[in-house]
Amino acid sequence: MEVIIRSSTEDATKLASRLIKKEMEAKPSLVLGLATGRTMELLYSMLVEMHLHEGLSFNRARTFNLDEYIGLPPEDAHSYRYYMNHHLFNRVNIDIRNTFLPNGMADDIDEECALYEDKIRRCGGIDLQVLGVGMSGHIGFNEPLSAMLSRTRAKALTPQTIEQNAPQFDDVAHMPKRAITMGVGTILDSRRCIVLATGESKATIIAKAVEGPVTSMISATALQLHPKCTVIVDRAAATKLSQQEYYQWIFENEPEWQEYHK
């Protein structure tokens, strides 16, 4: 794992977007794992700008989202399919048939989860997984006590997650209490991970995820086991990291980061 600290939310998000662009240009048929949430909105906006003004093409890319609420149809404005169409898919040249999310309306949820895993395998696995981190330390909807080798499955959401996501719903009573999520093991199978976390509210959980013990109580700690995981944070989200000077030294001195100093 590498931790990169940037001075602002915009700089952190810009670095993440440039890393994604580089991976997509190196492999136009990239299989991209995607996340949702407020942190991702600026990231997707930057990718759209790269598509419009820098020639970034999505026409051969395939995408798999981490999760979807159970019980929300795709056309519901609170569904993650709607979110992805609105923030990214409808604004770039991607083939919508190559964008995959779990079907939260499936009659057989267990079968849907197995089919989702099979789709990922048939695409050759996820090349680059983009992640945010929830306030409980979850990646996807892998809530506390999620097994480190878990696969795509249904999960009950914690009260903390419901509270965090409730502002997205007009009436919290209508917010689903369950979701389909990629498992921790599914995420760890990706060839590369980029974690983007910004804002002071994420400082405590980022410190636990990056520098704390690996534990099923905080699924993001499993990323410490990933062979190629980059955690990008702004200065506000980095305030409780104990090794800030070292992380800054990495970005300033390691050859792979020199092109991003511009």
Alpha-carbon span 45 to 73, nearest angstrom: 24
Helix (H) / strand (E) element for 165: namely helix 159-165
Nearest to 172 by CA among 152, 157, 187, 186: 157
User: Residue by residue, what is the 3-state secondary structure of 81-131?
Assistant: HHHHHHHCHHHCCCCHHHEECCCCCCCCHHHHHHHHHHHHHHCCCCCEEEE
Place of tokens 């979850």: 138
User: pLDDT averaged over the chain?
Assistant: 96
Provide the 10 A C-beta neighbour count for residue 228: 12
Average pLDDT over residues 18-22: 98
Higher pLDDT, residue 168 or 254: 254
Backbone angles phi, psi at 116, to 5 degrees: -65, -45
Q: Over pLDDT 70: what percentage of the chain?
A: 100
Residue 215: DSSP 8-state? B
Extract the tokens encoding 103: 């079907």
Instruction: Work out the pLDDT band at 165, boundaries 50, 70, 90.
Output: confident
Whole-model pTM: value is: 0.96
Q: Report the pLDDT averaged over residues 64-74.
A: 97
- Other C-beta atoms lying within 10 Å of the C-beta of residue 93: 12
Residue 164 has pLDDT above 90, yes or no: no
Is residue 173 pLDDT above 80, yes or no? no
Q: How distant, in Å, are the alpha carbons of 110, 139, 213 from that of 162?
A: 22, 15, 25
Name the band, by pLDDT with cuts 50, 70 and 90, for residue 174: confident
pLDDT for position 166: 80
Confidence of residue 237 (pLDDT cuts 50, 70, 90): very high
pLDDT of residue 117: 98
The mean per-residue pLDDT over the stretch 140-165 comes to 93
